[in-house]
Chain A
Amino acid sequence: MNTSLNSLLVVVLALNLFALGTSRMVTVIKIVSLQGILLGVMPLLVEESITLTAGMASTVAVLLKGLVIPAMLLRAIRDVHIKREIEPLIGFLPSMLLGALATGFALLFASSLPLAGEHTTPLLVSASLATIFTGFILLTMRAKAITQIMGYLVLENGIYIFGLLLVEAMPLVVELGVMLDLFVAIFVICIMVNHINKTFSSLDTRLMTSLKE
């Protein structure tokens, strides 16, 4: 059980670095989509036996994170005719190195955390921290509105990984509520992206500077 989970987590970590290093937006969306599918499958590997609730939560996660949300974002960038992230605030290679550094740090840090006995072996905690950090890099170091939202999704994925430790504490209602909120959030964001593009003729958030002290 642990070996298959660990290998999936390694793929997730590799996808983080890939997302940091590419400039093509469609690629980033596809990476996040793949990450979403992998995350959706994970709850089934964590539990000893597959229950109906776990199956449902997993199906919803795969559908939403892996298919629906990426489809919405792909549509949004097709509507505004944008393909590439322009030169980010820090370059693609440096941010990839930063991500690699963060991953290493997360691996070291997780081993010093006071974890419950059964959680010391799998990569879950360190993968969660590294993914959260990757999300932060994308969110703060990219200029285009859409890539910033990809950062938010990666951040949310990182938190989801941590949630795998606590499958029993989160009732299905809450889990579905979190997913529904994520879906509505992306829906609102897609509308906003359209408005931003219409108003500023670009998705470059650096153009938004009229509100300051």
Chain B
Amino acid sequence: MNKVILTLFCLLAFKLTAHAASYEIVGQGGQRFPVAVSPLKNLGASTGDSGRLSTGIADAMVHDLELSGWFRVLDRSAYIENAQSGITLGTFDFKDWSTIGAEGLVKGGFSVQGDEITVELRLFDVYQNKERIGKRYTGRVRDFRRIAHKFVDEIINQFTGIPGVFNTRIAYVSNSGGRFKEIYVSHLDGSEKFQVTNNRTINLSPAWSPDGKSVLYSSFKDRNQTLFLFELFSGKEIKFTPQGGGRYLSGKFSPDGQSIVATLESGGNTNLYLLDRSGKVVRRLTQDAGIEVSPAWSPDGKQIVYVSDRSGSPQIYILDLASGKSRRLSYSGNYNTSPEWSPRGDRIVYTGRIGNRFAIFTISADGGESRKLTSESFDSEDPTWSPDGRFIAFSSNRAGKYHLYVMQMSGDNQRRLTGSGGDDTKPNWSPRLD
């Protein structure tokens, strides 16, 4: 576990913004805030790792800042500051940075003791010649990128009033170029990639527990498809076996982590069931003879958005748990699937078909017009919200094979995350991690 020590305190935000609406103020209309990220200084004894850590931490921050869509990171080759300059206020010249067009500047240093690293990072306002954030982190050397992610989350908090989402992980399915589909988790930048399953069958629909410690997924590893709950730290796994027969196709944890909504197929019909954490059925939620799949929770845990073909084609519905009543949400298009409810509560993202192609749409949870976020000149599927509801990750075949991408909830700044030799699909974004 990383222990985070807050040493210095951040002062004012660059742009003081009203908390509620602030996420829309920065970066809209393609205007991005120009920042420079200086490679870190080694403040301790010189080690063989020094160069790798110096640029590695900076690179991880650059990746996150670019991915957010709110910043334009100035190219390192343009930096003119001399090597003797320091990393604290008064030990360097802001002109070295204003000259090259930087309005924000990230500087920092690190020292390594054994397998532990201490990193201090600062954000400066180049216009006002002031320090805005200063933090010190300690952690394992091999987790140095996490420290970079945490600091970028702080920077984004300064700019937008809401912390960023880069200290998170994505669970996904990959065939790694082979014929099996296995579950993986990794950070957004692809680091700390961990293979959850290795059973040489088909594993699907990974979903995080709200504490970020476990992944629920479905698998054919015991021949009949069912759900497994894998605890990442201990490697322990629980198998969910439907008491009355049938097969679990997928499951999603409720926001409070106490319940799971699962899709159960039995006798050709697929219905939604409410389970407790151990997999015991609490109650059946839908009673339809058709297909009811892809459930996802509202952030307050009171409603479930899902797909039903009861109208004759797959469409998005919302089930109110208290009343047991469902209402249809999507009316445009004849194939709408895989909905996920924004953690902010206002919108639902889903996959819709246009001709022979699939695109990502969002629609208000109250219904109305949907917004198409991706092009129909290729396929985009499996959307998942970031924990702050400002980004959407998805899979797309725009570069040939399926890879994972991230975009802003507006559809802006679509960027590729993964580049394995195979198809990466079914992303599920973790909650914020410690």
**Do A and B come together as binding partners?**
no
